Amino acid sequence: MQNLKEYEIQNNKLSDTIKKLRYDLQECQKQQEDLCQLQANIKNRLEELEKEQKNSHAYKMLGVSNSNLKVNSRLVNAQENFIYVNLINRKNITDNFIICPQVSLGAFINFFNDDDNDEDSDNPWFYFDRLRADFLFIKKEKIYTKEQTKSYNSAFLPFAILEFHGSGHKHSLNDELKIMACNKAGIKFFLIDSSIYQDKQDPNEYYKIDIQKLNNFVDNLEKELLDKE
């Protein structure tokens, strides 16, 4: 039978081994923590560099240079063009307004949010700026000279937008966003829908606009734009 001294030696050996393994485990955990921190630092730096690259002048210039660009020959469709011609043939409207088709909301509504970085692609403004108004009405005002106190900007005041929801239009959250943006910015919002189409339509033909219905709509629009009773 082993004496106590031998038991003590065996137990000490096991204790030393356990102690060493615990130390090795702690070192591995520490190295793992250091590795995780290093990985996080590399990831953050990578994101910073990728963002810096995308915002760089060189990246944007190369992006344009390597892109296949061409003029958009269909800025408005046939029906929108029909509506546009009706609008610009109204003297009372053109005497008081400049009519611009397909204008980005970000071009005439400023988006202010102190928490957002202008260069951040997650900024809501970048999504907001992609929305288009079918027709923007810019109110003509007196143009002031440099000596006068009022700003030149007062000569080009965004006043209202007109949206056309034709037969192919499907209601989306973008429609609600446009209405909300106009209401908050104090810009009038008008909507012309498929009710202006001819009553009898050949399903095999392109939907046609009823001229009289369109004229009636624009008559009412003119009154509201000029605030006439």
| pLDDT tens across the length of the chain (229 residues) | 557 788 788 888 888 888 888 888 888 888 998 889 989 999 999 999 999 998 899 988 988 888 888 887 778 888 899 999 999 999 999 999 999 999 999 888 887 665 555 555 556 667 777 889 999 999 987 655 555 555 555 567 899 999 998 777 778 888 888 998 899 899 999 999 888 887 766 665 667 888 899 999 999 999 999 986 4
**Beta carbons of 193 and 165 less than 8 angstroms apart:** yes
Kindly report the pTM of this predicted structure. 0.68
Query: Do 140 and 90 have their domain in common?
Result: yes
Query: Do 131 and 159 have their domain in common?
Result: yes
Query: Do 40 and 106 have their domain in common?
Result: no
106: three-class secondary structure by DSSP: helix
Q: Quote the domain boundaries for residue 105.
A: 78-225
- The verdict on residue 180 lying in a domain is yes
- The verdict on residue 71 lying in a domain is no
Provide the number of structural domains found in the chain. Answer: 2
- The verdict on residue 213 lying in a domain is yes
Query: Do 144 and 46 have their domain in common?
Result: no
Query: Do 91 and 112 have their domain in common?
Result: yes
- The verdict on residue 70 lying in a domain is no
DSSP-H helix ranges across 57-172: 57-65, 78-88, 91-94, 105-108, 124-129
- The verdict on residue 15 lying in a domain is yes
Cβ count within 10 A of residue 94: 13
Query: Do 88 and 118 have their domain in common?
Result: yes
